[in-house]
Chain A
């Protein structure tokens, strides 16, 4: 499934941060977003994932094709590793828990409570969730934070495997995952005037301001 983004403008806190962003991400390909802190990478990814409406423009792929992984892993500290993954597998209607555990090297930790995992292990569990969603387009926001080099390489393999099965990856990262992907610099898309609309209008879609 192809992800097309057409003349997209995104707003954070009522201020347009990026505008005119267009790209196409065919199945089996990867696209890396680059840009300085605060340029709107997270905002763009949240818009593509359907968590917030676009200020202008359109995202073609439906939100139901996209699996989104944010800064926070969405883990429950009092559930075990397996329980955390099994919940998401049930929500997405897949049965890939064992496969995901093996892929992210979590089999030895499977019965441990998420509260007792290290930051890097939590991150690996958070990324393992992507494998149980069964969705073709992964939208990843700084997925390698707090991962060591071995885990980064492991995750690079997982992403390559996903792409070889026809999945695609849209990823905001500053480090090299070792995947074949095009790079999109967001600098040229920075919104020029930063046109301000109030949060009230943004929330209720009013053009009456």
Chain B
């Protein structure tokens, strides 16, 4: 299992891997939105939580279609299924690797981009906390979508359509945490719901993803 994590991280870091793609996209969104909206700092401060969360979500989506498709194309998915590690564990590990190369860097760079969007001072802490709690759910749900569409030609479009509605609760509660935090209100309720979504999908979806892969390999 650790070997799979190490391999996926190494593949992402080497040339041609997906590392940096999501980060660059997130950066573009945060730089371009203030230019598009104009120099109204009060307006920017108001929309910053939503923009940052939407940007992080779309950046996560960007590299999802490669999650299982590459392993499927070169035949290593067949070999992983017949290997002595449980497929459910392999799926969870691959989702974890996806989070480590997209969700975690996004979380760490988000405060810097918050400055560009004039996020109120009180919001930075909650921005990092909500992204750290919420982006793992994005990776796990995304892995489920990728498992459903593995083996399909041009499965990326279907993947986006399948995954986007499942992302909505995470987006709503994640952005709500930042918004309330920035306004100095209590954040406990949306934060608890965000954590509940992440815990729930991390516990259940690897089983669904493994079942979907088994069916798709037949």
Contacts and interface: CB of A to CB of B under 8 A. Distances in A.
Given A51-B218, A52-B217, A76 B74 contact: yes
B35 interface: no
A71 interface: yes
Interface string A17-59: 0000000000000000000000000000000011111000000
Interface in B11-34: 11, 14-17
Interface string A63-97: 11011101111111111000100111011110000
B83 A91 contact: yes
Interface in A156-209: 202-203
Interface residues of B, number: 27
Q: Which of A51, A53, A68 has the most CB of B within 10 A?
A: A51
- What is the interface residue range for chain A against chain B? 20 to 34
B199 interface: no
Nearest to B70: A76
B123 to A, nearest CB: 39
B168 interface: no
Contacts of A78: 11, 14-17
Contact of A51 (B14, B73, B81, B85): B81
Nearest to A203: B215
A203 B218 contact: yes
Q: Which of B11, B71, B78, B82 has the most CB of A within 10 A?
A: B82
B161 interface: no
B108 interface: no
Interface in B50-87: 71, 73-76, 78-85
Given A52-B217, A79-B11, A91 B75 contact: no
A137 to B, nearest CB: 11
Contacts of B75: 70-74
Interface of B: 2-4, 6-7, 10-11, 14-17, 71, 73-76, 78-85, 215, 217-218
5 contacts: A49-B82, A51-B82, A74-B74, A76-B76, A203-B218
